[in-house]
Each structure stands twice: as C-alpha cells, then as structure tokens.
Amino acid sequence: MDRKEMFSAHINDGYLCKGESIILGGAMLDGVPVANAHVKVPLKTMNRHGLIAGATGTGKTKTLQVVSEQLSRLGVPVLLMDVKGDLSGIAMPGQEKPFITERHAKIGLPYMVGGSPVELLTISKQEGVRLRATISEFGPVLLSRILDLNDTQGGVLSVIFKYCDDKKMPLLDLKDIKKAIQFVTEEGKAEMEREYGKISPASTGIILRKLIEMEQQDAELFFGEKSFDIADLMRRDRNGNGYVNIVRLTDIQDRPKLFSTFMLCLLAEVYDTMPEIGDPEKPELVIFIDEAHLVFDQASKALLSEIETIIKLIRSKGVGVFFVTQNPMDVPNEVLAQLGLKIQHALRAFTAIDRQAIKLTAENFPLSDYYKTDETLTSLGIGEALVTALNEKGIPTPLAATMMRAPMSRMDILSQAEIDSLNRSSDLVRKYSEVIDRESAFEILSGKIEAVRKQAEEEAASKEREKERWGRGGRSSSGSSGRGSVLRNPVVKVLTSATFIRGVFGIMKKVIKL
C-alpha cells in the first residue's frame, strides 16, 4: 500500500459515520484532493460545539453556509449571527458555475442547488422578526454581569428587583428599571429602608449611569414586549427542513455592548428554557456566532465566566454553539477547550506576532504523520481548511487538510425586494411586530410620585391657610394669641409635624396619643 492509499484509509477510518452526517469536502494530501476520502462530521456530535476560523477572504462565510444548509436539510434548525450581512443568500438556490463543477469533480461529490427556509431576525432598526426580552426575564444576576457591577452594586440591583416584584410592578423595559432606581433613591427612600434596609445612593447612581450607557447603544429596542419565544427558533417547514434563523446585525458593529448583551441573554434563555435530553441523535438547535471577537473583546470577567459555564452545560440540552472568527486566539482558552469541531482556514504570517500566533494555533490540532501543521496553515488556498472533529464515539478524528464543498445556496446577499418579500410572507414578523407597552413599573411609580407631590402641595396649602387663620384671630382668654399658645404647646407641635410626615411619606406607624 503506497502513501496515498494509506492516507485514504486513514481518513476513511477516522471519519467513518454510520448515521447521518455533515459532509464538508474531500481530504487533500500534498495539496491535492484524494479520491473518495471525504471529511464527514457525525450529526449527533454537532451539539459538541465548534470553531470556524481563518483570515479575511479565506472562505469562512462559505463554510458557514455549507454547514448551515446541510443541517437544515437534515431537519436541524439553525440560528446565525450575521454581522457582515452576507448570509441572507441561504434562502435562495445557488447557480452552478464551471469552477464549482470542477471543484466537486476533484472531491468526488455531485453538486446540487437549493435554498433553505429562512427567517430574518433583528434587534435593531432593520426590518425583520423583532427580538425582545423584558428586564424581568433578564433578571438581576444577568443584568449585573452585563453592566459589570461589583457585588455591592449587584446586591442593590437585586433588592430593587425584589421590591418591584413584591409590589407587583413589572419591569419590562429600560424606562421601568430607571424609574424604579429613581424612586427608591428619592421619593420611596424611607419606605425602601424600612422594608428592605438602606441602599447606597452612590451604588444606584453607578447603576443608572451604566444603564444610560447601554441605552445609548439602542438597547431600548431589545428590552420590552412582546418577548421572543425560544420555541420559534425550533421550527421546521412542511418538508421537514429546519429553519435557518438569521439575526441581521450589520448596523450594530459599533455597539459591542448591545451585541454581547443580546448574545448572553439568548444563550441563557435557550439554556433555561430547553429540557435536559443528554446526547440526542441530532441536535435540537445549532447556533453560529459570526465575528465572535465582538463578544469576547468587550466581555468582563464575569461575562466570560458566564459564557464558559453555559457552553459547558448547554450541550446536554441538544444545542451546539459555533464561534466564527479570524483567529482562534480571539476565543478564550477556557471556551476553546470545549469545542469539538475545528475548521481552520488559512492564516497569514506578515509579522513576528502573526508567526507566533500560527505556532500557537497549530498546537490546538492533533499531531499528524501527513502534515506539518504550522506550514499547512499558511499554504491553504481559498475554500480549503484544516479539519478535526469528534467521531460518533466522541474521539477526535485525524487532522485533514480539506477542499471544502461549495454551498448549494446563493453565494451572495438577497436584494432589498427579496428581503421585503421574505418578511411579508413571515408569520413571525406579524407575530412580533406589535409593540406592547402595558402598565408597568414606570407608569405605577410615576403615578405614585405624582400622588405624593399633589398630597405634599395640599398639605403645604393647608398649613398656609392654618397660619393665616391664626394670624387673623385675637388673643386667647389667657391673654396670649391663639397661634402662639398652640406653637408653645409641645404635644400639638409634635402632632402637627407627625401628620405632615405621615401624609407625605407614609412612614409613621405609631399613633400619638394626647
């Protein structure tokens, strides 16, 4: 058996799949595809997470299309974070061209065209299915981590959530939580201290400033009702194909706080909502996070810890999470260690730092008798990648330099007319287009503050009338003026003061007896 035959057997044994699989392409030896040596990823291991990495222009987006459309055809719903705006073409069939036919002939795979069922989702001002969540659903712990609060500030936020919950004041959007913070710091301070203990104005000030910072990144578009139901990500069409849900994020690249907030909330919601199912034969949902460095660059230590925990645990819910980025070093080691599938497109070595990064990247792959990994990383062409996955037993597969297959769908974006048509035919667009602004903490507290203000004005006016009445009266039978007699009576003075305080602030519980 010559080296080429040994390599073919090595690949076919390592990537043997008895069940359904994702076919990535054909394995290469010495830069040339080897006939009938196909690189496959078992469908049942797609909940073990993964990484798609490589320099700009090396083919990451097309690989993302290839994997997503095959998952859809196998009945697995997909959620894509489309930061660059070049994934919408998955909805339309591709077009066979000579270079595609030639590529598929080399790797021994027939080429077929076809689109996938697609929903366009948005958390910004773009058209599509509106994704929202309420502040209450987000919760104090997650909100504290997103705002990068310390333990003291996080404790204050938890108390405010508790206060609103006890008083049956829903926290739906940013104006609700901001109004609640204002109230417990000012008008409701005494009530808050009596029932829940003192809170620091310095802490509430910091929380409010950080909420305003997030609000300036258009976070108010995300917080509110109608809340998005995670079950709507799991839909299949009448043919059994999983929907490819594309979140359009092209207009929030300069708002990383909003992006990371959305991502963590979504992952947490999926984890909290979905039941434990262990290792199913096929995933319930696969999530792809494009431009993943936007999540990690702006993430606090607490946020990174939360992501790491979710990645470790969400696998048992039947959910796979894939990070797409230029350099695998963009992903923290703690998260990188959890990724079973690695598809590494070419890296370029222009500087000493680049060369060092390539050496570190090469060390993340299994040792191979057929490749010098660090050299192969820099010699891969467009649409070629180093691949290692997990086989059906969870064992890492051999390293394979792979000529990737071409997408079946359009390798270009949809036109505006096609986007409009897709949205018009969407049941989810109609379902989530309505903005609900029911009575919540903002309205309740605003009403309470207004009532306190009016009552204070009435008390002040009553006191002024009382002063004027005593001023017009004569002296009392004791020879002193009635007003002076009253003010010199300490019991009446205490009672008057107590009545005022009780009427305005509602904090007096003791009954003063004469």
Write down the residue that tokens 């109608």 correspond to.
226
One domain, residues 428 and 455? no
* CATH code of 353's domain: 3.40.50.300
Cβ(401)–Cβ(362) under 8 Å?
no
β-strand partners of 370: none
- DSSP-derived letter for residue 290 is S
β-strand partners of 402: 27, 385
Q: Which two tokens stand for residue 80?
A: 């894509």
One domain, residues 399 and 497? no
One domain, residues 313 and 407? yes
pLDDT of residue 109: 93
- The whole-angstrom separation of Cα 208 and Cα 175 is 11
- DSSP-derived letter for residue 147 is T
One domain, residues 381 and 455? no
Where b means 16+ CB within 10 Å and e means fewer, 334-349 reads ebbebbbbbbbbbbeb
β-strand partners of 323: 51, 289
Q: Which residues of the chain have pLDDT under 50?
A: 474-514
Q: 21-29 and 400-404: which strand pairing?
A: antiparallel
Give the chain's domain count: 2
DSSP string covering 483-507: HHHHHH-HHHHHHHHHHHHHHHH--
| H helix runs in 319-475, sequence order | 333-336, 352-362, 373-379, 416-424, 427-432, 441-472
Domain assignment present for residue 256? The answer is yes
Cβ(269)–Cβ(303) under 8 Å?
no
- The whole-angstrom separation of Cα 466 and Cα 188 is 28
Task: Tell me if residue 342 falls in helix, strand or coil.
Answer: strand
φ/ψ (deg, to 5) at 402:
-125, 130
pLDDT of residue 110: 92
Domain assignment present for residue 148? The answer is no
Domain assignment present for residue 200? The answer is no
Domain assignment present for residue 206? The answer is no
One domain, residues 367 and 488? no
One domain, residues 474 and 410? no
Cβ(244)–Cβ(68) under 8 Å?
yes
- DSSP-derived letter for residue 240 is S
One domain, residues 454 and 417? no
Domain assignment present for residue 411? The answer is yes
**Domain end (from 375, 399, 432):** 432
- The whole-angstrom separation of Cα 156 and Cα 143 is 12
pLDDT of residue 368: 92
β-strand partners of 342: 51, 388
Task: Tell me if residue 14 falls in helix, strand or coil.
Answer: helix
Cβ(77)–Cβ(242) under 8 Å?
yes
Domain that holds residue 328: 3-132+225-432
Cβ(1)–Cβ(9) under 8 Å?
yes
Question: CB-based contacts of 17: which residues, under 8 Å, 6+ apart?
Answer: 40, 41, 42, 391, 392
Cβ(152)–Cβ(200) under 8 Å?
yes
Q: What is the mean pLDDT of the chain?
A: 84
Which helix (H) or strand (E) element contains residue 183? helix 174-185
One domain, residues 339 and 303? yes
Domain assignment present for residue 118? The answer is yes
pLDDT of residue 510: 39
Peptide bond into 226 cis (omega under 30): yes
Task: Tell me if residue 322 falls in helix, strand or coil.
Answer: strand
Report pLDDT digits (tens) over 168-214: 888 888 888 998 898 888 888 888 888 888 888 899 999 999 998 88
**Domain end (from 407, 432, 457):** 432
Domain assignment present for residue 214? The answer is no
Dihedral, 77, 79, 84, 87 alpha carbons, nearest 10: 10
**Domain end (from 374, 409, 432):** 432
pLDDT of residue 250: 77
Q: Which two tokens stand for residue 337?
A: 């260690």
Domain assignment present for residue 50? The answer is yes
pTM of the model: 0.80
One domain, residues 473 and 350? no
One domain, residues 344 and 417? yes
pLDDT of residue 78: 97
One domain, residues 98 and 54? yes
Report pLDDT digits (tens) over 397-426: 999 999 999 999 999 999 999 999 999 999
One domain, residues 361 and 322? yes
Q: Counting beta carbons within 10 angstroms of the beta carbon of residue 411, is it exposed (0 to 12), middle (13 to 18) or buried (19 or more)?
A: middle
